[in-house]
Amino acid sequence: MKPFQFISVKLTLCLITGILIQTAFNFSPFYCLYALITSLIILGILLKISKKRALVFGIVAAFASILLGVTTANFATPKNNTLHYSNKTITNTHLWHLKIHEVLKSNTYNHKYVATLVTLDNQNATGKFLLETPINSAKTIFNVDDELVVYTKLSPVNSPLNPHQFNYALYLKDLGIYHKIEAKDNYKLLLLNNKTLIGTAAIIRNNIINKLNGAGFNPEELSIIKALLLGERNTVQTKTLDAYKNAGAIHILALSGLHIGILLLVLQFLLSPLEYLPKGKTIKLIIIVLFLWSFAFIAGLSSSLIRAVTMFTFVAYAMFLNRPTSSFNILALSLFFILLCKPNLLFSVGLQMSYAAVFSIVLFNPIFKKLWEPKYYLTNKIWQLLTVSLAAQLGVLPISLYYFHQFPSLFFITNLAIIPFLGVILSVGIVVVILALFNALPNFLVTLYNGIIFSMNSVVKWVATQEVFLIKAISFNKVQIILSYLILLILLLYMTKKTFKRTAWLLASVLVFQSCIIYYNYKALQKEELHILHQSKHTVLTHQTGKELKVYTNNSHINQQSIQNIAIAERVNSISNQKLKNNYSYKNKLLIIVDSLVVYPKNKNSIVLLTQSAKLNLDRLITDIHPKQIIADGSNYKTTVALWKATCLKRKIPFYYTGENGYYTFH
């Protein structure tokens, strides 16, 4: 099977190239559109006058496809819209008319939403914001399609405050969200009834959730049911999510191509008698497509579901045609269509992993199946499931290691125990939802389905407890991703046809990958850095020397994730905790730490770290030691920090606050 023989594969690769080019260079919309139209005109002329020059036509077609990607990505960039709020004069406070687009998971302090802009100061405008309302003072918990007006100023989305922390601001930027709005007592809820498709879906989903809440399911099983059938993961406990992650089964809780693919197969089987009727195949196709999109509608029309249903709509149509076509053709067409509609999805982890898994199954599974052909039916089915799981895991492994830094080596046990029954679990679950919606859910079905989900959870938890098989804290960067996929590509060629040349290429690619690891380990051994981290209520310093990391703090309840992030990214092997000292000497620089005791040495030209909202006379300290710089960390009250900042500004001393500027690094 040669993927590049299909036009859809070539066009999709060109479209992706165009999206990447636009992301890197951000060309003007006018020039992009002009170049695209020109290339299409040339393409049309070539099609008319020169049918024999396939090479020239192919080059122009590829160029036009790249320009299509550039133009699509350009017009999908919110800031390129003249009505976008960023293209208007934004001063201080404004009147923002917002509409709730999505309800996000709340944290300890705030309810969170994605809100779209309707008007700005009563003028039409566009844009999306992260909307936050404090939990302790929230007058209303908003639903999708609720509208409100807020008189406030924009706030930036917080950038990472510690080294190698997840960049939430960058993640939101990829979604077209550049600022956040805080609504405390400065908003008014509008009693309007302008419902959207997503809002209607949310109402139906909330109604189903309310029915399920009163059906008698156990709390843990209920949270899994809502995640599995409705895409509602906000109520799943962190401990349960971690168990699914550690067992390599988190994909089961994320509604995606796996669930839609299984539903498609179940529907194909259940509706097969329709094929005996006149136009039965057409009726069957219509029912299947309507059912899949209805399922996506009720489950919230999330991006992952939309792309999955789009892909399997193409697959269902291919099954309807019953023609010998390649899986590559179907996958490439679906990806082309998805990226044409939403080019920013190219940078979605979900889309990357979904298509990596499916392409890997299509490429590797036929080869793996030939390695052994069991004689018995049951053994053959188990082997098929193993080969599919292994092929999918190969495809997503580099991306998974880059984003999650762990590998659950017992993933095949989870897949063997759950995937064969997932069709039954989903089918029974859909029946449960429909019956619950009409208040006709019998108790025996509640007990039965509760037991099924309990059994699934038990398997996942057992696998997750086998910690010796869970490889954690794996350092993996973008270069290693590229090299890993290069190795997989050469491995595929080698397994297809074993030649000396391909063997040499495979060994060479592995050698390059190993050399890359040796190089990064060598760089880690040469590194030395001292950081002042930002931790709420605590003072934390980290000192990296080669592959050793010393953590200085007086509190054992610090956020360990910040330490783990450093250890993984910097390839640290050893972490030791030490008591915080009053001063540190680092590369001819002296750091003095002033805590609540306000006792400090009077060394001139030192760097001073103020902690624990120390009650000191900062003017006197500045007069005593003439510090080069004053730093305040997360252990201080913000009001105290504001006073210190004003004093430093008055005395012309550089001031650095980790709560605003992030961690401090000594160079």
Evaluate whether the domain defined by 85-194 bears CATH number 3.10.310: no
Residues in the chain: 667
Beta carbons within 10 angstroms of residue 108's beta carbon: 5
For the chain, the distance separating the N- and C-terminal CA atoms, rounded to the nearest angstrom, is 54
Delimit the domains of the chain by residue range.
3-76, 85-194, 249-347, 478-526, 529-666
Beta carbons within 10 angstroms of residue 487's beta carbon: 18
Q: How large is the average pLDDT for residues 475-490?
A: 95
Q: How large is the average pLDDT for residues 352-365?
A: 87
Tens digits of residue pLDDT in 156-177: 998 899 999 999 999 899 888 9
pLDDT winner (highest mean) among 138-152, 324-338, 411-425, 448-462: 448-462
- Can you give the pLDDT at residue 329? 82
24 vs 257, higher pLDDT: 24
Average pLDDT, the chain: 89
Contact 176, 78 (CB under 8 A): yes
Residue 612 confidence class, pLDDT cut points 50, 70, 90: very high
Nearest to 476 by CA among 534, 406, 408, 424: 406
- Can you give the pLDDT at residue 448? 94
- In three-state secondary structure terms, 521 is helix
Tell me, what DSSP letter sits at residue 126? B
- Can you give the pLDDT at residue 235? 86
Q: Which element (helix H / strand E) includes 449?
A: helix 443-464
Buried/exposed 293-316: b ≥16 CB within 10 Å, e otherwise: bebbbbbbbbebbbbbbbbbbbbb
- In three-state secondary structure terms, 578 is strand
Tens digits of residue pLDDT in 361-378: 888 988 988 888 888 888
Q: Tell me the CA distances in angstroms from 206 to 147, 212, 231, 386, 433, one per residue in order.
A: 18, 10, 12, 37, 12
Tens digits of residue pLDDT in 20-79: 999 888 888 888 889 899 988 888 888 777 655 677 788 888 999 999 999 999 999 998
- Can you give the pLDDT at residue 100? 94
pTM for the model stands at: 0.85
Nearest to 205 by CA among 436, 467, 532, 487: 436
Buried/exposed 71-88: b ≥16 CB within 10 Å, e otherwise: bbbbebbbebbeebbeee
Q: How large is the average pLDDT for residues 476-493?
A: 94
- Can you give the pLDDT at residue 317? 83
Which residues are within 8 A (CB) of 332 and not within 5 positions of it... i.e. 6 or more apart? 3, 6, 8, 9, 11, 12
Q: How many CA atoms lie within 13 A of 250 on its CB side?
A: 18
Q: How large is the average pLDDT for residues 85-110?
A: 90
- Pairing mode, if any, of strands 589-594 and 607-610? parallel
Least confident interval from 313-317, 334-338, 605-609: 313-317
Cα 124–Cα 128–Cα 134 angle in degrees, nearest 5: 115
Residue found by looking up tokens 């309310």 in the block:
210
- Can you give the pLDDT at residue 354? 84
- Can you give the pLDDT at residue 591? 93
Task: Please report the DSSP string for 182-230 in residue order.
Answer: E-SSSEEEE------HHHHHHHHHHHHHHHHHTTT--HHHHHHHHHHHH
Least confident interval from 523-537, 547-561, 563-577: 547-561
- Can you give the pLDDT at residue 324? 55
Cα 215–Cα 217–Cα 222 angle in degrees, nearest 5: 110
